[in-house]
Amino acid sequence: MDEQQILKQLDRIKEIPTLPTIVFELNKYLQDPDTSIKTVCDTIEKDQAITLKILKLVNSAFYGFKSKISDLRNAIVLLGYNAVRNAIVSLSVISSFSNRVALMDFNITQFWKHSLAVAVTSKNIAQLSKKESPDNCFVGGLLHDIGKVIMAQYFHDLFETVWTTLQNEHISFYEAEQKKLSTDHTRIGSHLASKWQLPGGLVDAIRWHHEFQPESKHANFVRNIYLANFIVNSYDYDQELRLDLSKMHPEVVKFMMDMMEDVGDWYAGLTGEIEAAYGFFLESDL
Ligand SMILES: [Fe+2]
Ligand SMILES: [Fe+2]
């Protein structure tokens, strides 16, 4: 199958989870700062599960507010529209994809752990560089590898080929895709993200997180996700390992060097926040 055939097949698969209507609705409302808080509350309250999740989020260690918040309106005011929108999109994507059959020894909890680590790292890079919204970067990190899950669930043959190759040849998932397939998880994931009408920056971050494109319209956003994924992959593999800068895009190396003195120390400082994100987003799955 060539790439066009694969993407066409993806369009035809009926059971691929689509985000619930309420998520689309909120996504739209929450992007507009003029939407009244009443409209937002009324829409969220239509869905009991989302309401509970928002209250849980605002009271979780992840945000660390001191007093207990039991009212949805207060929760939205405290978190802000952007954080609420991102939390809703994140939770709904994780729950849409978590209970499906996994393939070979691909472990979905491990997958989300990696994604959450990239999400937290990317959010912190945004806080340091002050160029992008930290909340948007969190979602970008969370969704960057979504194409892998799609491949594992809907394109078994392709996934098995990649998995066998990476295990036999001790190379990365992406390297195995480049060797054996006519497409890869960045193309499949970004195709789906644009079908879900997610923001353009998110679509681009999913598409270019392994090959940074400085000329992209959303270059700053994409660079955050690319760098976060690079850091998480390097240090998760070996805490003592130094980053292999020759494999990183030169512009990103410079961006990183200007910002951090010691990347290893900086990343080690995020452990607590990464654990808190696991706790909130994965809960009973752990
Ligand atoms: Fe990836
Ligand atoms: Fe990744």
Q: How far is the CA of 145 from the centre of ligand 1 (A)?
A: 5
Q: Which ligand is the nearest neighbour of the Cα of 176?
A: 1
Q: How far is the CA of 179 from the centre of ligand 1 (A)?
A: 15
pLDDT bracket for residue 285 (50, 70, 90): very low
Distance from C-alpha of 261 to C-alpha of 103, rounded to nearest angstrom:
40
Residue 153 pLDDT:
84
Q: How far is the CA of 111 from the centre of ligand 1 (A)?
A: 11
Structure confidence by residue, pLDDT tens digits, 192-220: 888 877 888 999 999 999 999 988 899 99
Kindly report the CA angle at 74 between 38 and 46, in degrees rounded to 5? 45
Is the pLDDT higher at 11 or at 278? Answer: 278
Which residues span the domain enclosing 153?
Answer: 3-285
Number of domains observed in the structure of the chain = 1
pLDDT bracket for residue 100 (50, 70, 90): low
Q: Which ligand is the nearest neighbour of the Cα of 233?
A: 2
Q: How far is the CA of 204 from the centre of ligand 2 (A)?
A: 14
Write down the pTM of the prediction: 0.86
Q: How far is the CA of 40 from the centre of ligand 1 (A)?
A: 34
Is the pLDDT higher at 36 or at 97? Answer: 36
User: Which residue from 160, 155, 23 is spatially nearest to 91, judged by alpha carbons?
Assistant: 23
Q: How far is the CA of 222 from the centre of ligand 2 (A)?
A: 13
Q: How far is the CA of 44 from the centre of ligand 1 (A)?
A: 32
Is the pLDDT at 286 greater than 60? The verdict is no
Is the pLDDT at 97 greater than 80? The verdict is no
Contact 230, 127 (CB under 8 A): no
Q: How far is the CA of 17 from the centre of ligand 1 (A)?
A: 20
Residue 102 pLDDT:
59
pLDDT bracket for residue 284 (50, 70, 90): very low
Indicate the residue type of 250: P
Is the pLDDT at 26 greater than 90? The verdict is no
Contact 101, 154 (CB under 8 A): no
Residues with CB under 5 A from ligand 1 (ion): 145
CATH, residue 109: 1.10.3210.10
Is the pLDDT at 18 greater than 80? The verdict is no
Q: How far is the CA of 29 from the centre of ligand 1 (A)?
A: 30
